[in-house]
A and B are shown apart, each in its own frame.
Chain A
């Protein structure tokens, strides 16, 4: 009996091993390696000396850590509600009863297939003072304000949020659109017989039917926004004066510019736990949806 089980195990090993190896080395091992690194003074070349919890103490007292964590949180708070509303609105447009709806869907989605390098570069040149497309269009319709989009803290945030929405709303729009198309026609027919107005249909049929997917979109968006880095680095570089610098950029700078991988690993751990908690919530929610 035991021998037979052993033969079965041997048969399964070639199937499991390739994935298991890659998973252990590149997904699981970094968690433990990160813990070790956070307990050492560790630079880009080698491990230095054991410092215990010193890196953690430094983190708690580091105003830049709190500032960049706040910036990331602010980005989450700015993008999540706007993203959900915009995705919902666009999905309603892409679900209109018209031949143009595939064109609508394609237009809303196409920015998200572009590389972050391309969309950031487009943003920089479109928002450039004096010659950028946005300011010249503002000029031509009679607004002579000449805003410096990257130099002002508020405007820099507006730029980053608008670019992020434009770039990544397509994915969420498709999730809403799929749900819209899954709403049974019978619900609308029954309410039409009862003489419900279109607004009432939207309010009492469409919206409630979209709540489950809405919850998924919100959680996915929070999770994705906490990982923000590339478009901010490329558009504002974290400026002006660090006002838009996200946590991942700070971690990168500490590790690779200031040559302190130990402290960078420590702050990564903080991010790790924030994201871990959020994904546990997200997976719990999804489990609930599936039931």
Chain B
């Protein structure tokens, strides 16, 4: 409480002292508008009549508007299918990542077994291995497993996240010893201890890792670009450029496709902004 009062009084003092505050706010407004202008432009272009073009910028934002482009794209293109693929792959990747990383982190944090330190260091090494630089042999391995051009081939190589194990382990380490010991005395099995007691206590870490795995998979380009050959299995980042490249001068329909691809993530961002921001300061600093 006391801290809050001092910080408020300082802020009040600031307002009096900073003669340039209004100017700085104006700069902030201008820069903010520059940052979101392309996105706003995309949304306006997507509701212009098909074939519209102009050399007067303001006309992009003026009526007439129509939603018929949305209907055309949804009915006649694979965009919805790609949207589903992206969502499905990101969702399953996230769930599997959370399951296997939290299980491994629990074992390292709470169980006794031989070579534990060695195994943990072996996992830590993964932080230094750049996936982009091993993607050619990865392609060969996935090909030999007959998983090229499949959902499994998209998902399985992406789930072993060493960073996830490390963050979760440090979270599990902080679970009070008394809770664990009393549960063990009560005859609680390790698995019960894991999902009834330890896992619920690590919710913030799980949320952060979940959000980042999901965004990472949603935006992943290189791996689906290499490993998916069928149009029906494309994810959005791979499918959209193919779709866009069939239109070289027309703006409206491809822009609608891009808007359809973006509107769900923009809504998700507005809903989860706080958690995303928290998650960045949480995982970003850790690596």
In-complex Cβ contact of B285 among A5, A23, A216 (8 A): A216
What is the 8 Å Cβ interface bit string for chain B, positions 182-212, against chain A (1 contact, 0 not)? 0000000011001000000000000000000
Does B13 lie within 8 Å of A192, measured CB to CB?
yes
B residues 102-138 near A (Cβ < 8 Å) are: 103-104, 106-108, 111-114, 119, 123, 126-138
Does B262 lie within 8 Å of A115, measured CB to CB?
yes
Does B57 lie within 8 Å of A136, measured CB to CB?
yes
Residue of B nearest to A5 (CB): B114
Q: How far, in Å, is B166 (CB) from chain A's closest CB?
A: 11
Contacts of A100 in B (CB 8 A): 25, 28-29, 32
Contacts of B99 in A (CB 8 A): 18
In-complex Cβ contact of A19 among B160, B222, B265 (8 A): B160
Contacts of A108 in B (CB 8 A): 31-32, 35
In-complex Cβ contact of B130 among A96, A256, A275, A289 (8 A): A275
What is the 8 Å Cβ interface bit string for chain B, positions 20-64, against chain A (1 contact, 0 not)? 010011011101110110110110000000000111110010000
A280 touching B111 in the complex, CB below 8 Å, given contacts A107-B36, A122-B42, A229-B222 = no
Residue of A nearest to B119 (CB): A16
A19 touching B104 in the complex, CB below 8 Å, given contacts A8-B112, A116-B221, A185-B6 = yes
Interface size class of A (residues with CB under 8 A): 35 or more
Does B128 lie within 8 Å of A280, measured CB to CB?
yes
Does A15 lie within 8 Å of B277, measured CB to CB?
no
What is the 8 Å Cβ interface bit string for chain A, positions 213-245, against chain B (1 contact, 0 not)? 100100010000001011000100000000000
Does A198 lie within 8 Å of B55, measured CB to CB?
no
Docked Cα-Cα span, A220 to B222, in Å, equals 19
B residues 135-166 near A (Cβ < 8 Å) are: 135-141, 156-160, 162, 165
Q: Which of B65-73, B173-181, B253-261 sits within the interface?
A: B253-261
B residues near A, CB below 8 A?
3, 6-7, 10-11, 13-15, 17-18, 21, 24-25, 27-29, 31-33, 35-36, 38-39, 41-42, 53-57, 60, 99-101, 103-104, 106-108, 111-114, 119, 123, 126-141, 156-160, 162, 165, 190-191, 194, 215, 218-219, 221-222, 225-226, 236-241, 244, 249, 251, 254-255, 258, 261-262, 265-266, 268-270, 273, 276-277, 280-281, 284-287
Additional 11 contacts, C-beta under 8 A, given A34-B136, A117-B221: A18-B99, A23-B123, A30-B141, A118-B261, A125-B255, A131-B249, A131-B251, A174-B284, A230-B222, A276-B128, A279-B128
22 residue pairs A–B, Cβ–Cβ below 8 Å: A5-B113, A8-B111, A8-B113, A9-B113, A15-B107, A29-B137, A30-B134, A93-B27, A93-B31, A100-B29, A107-B31, A110-B266, A114-B39, A115-B265, A116-B219, A131-B251, A251-B136, A272-B133, A275-B132, A276-B129, A279-B127, A280-B128
A residues near B, CB below 8 A?
5, 8-9, 11-12, 14-16, 18-20, 22-23, 25-31, 33-34, 37, 90, 93-94, 96-98, 100-101, 103-111, 113-118, 120-122, 125-126, 130-131, 133, 136-137, 139-140, 166, 171, 174-175, 178, 185-186, 188-189, 192, 198, 213, 216, 220, 227, 229-230, 234, 248, 251-252, 255-256, 261, 264-265, 268-269, 271-272, 275-276, 279-280, 282-283, 286, 289
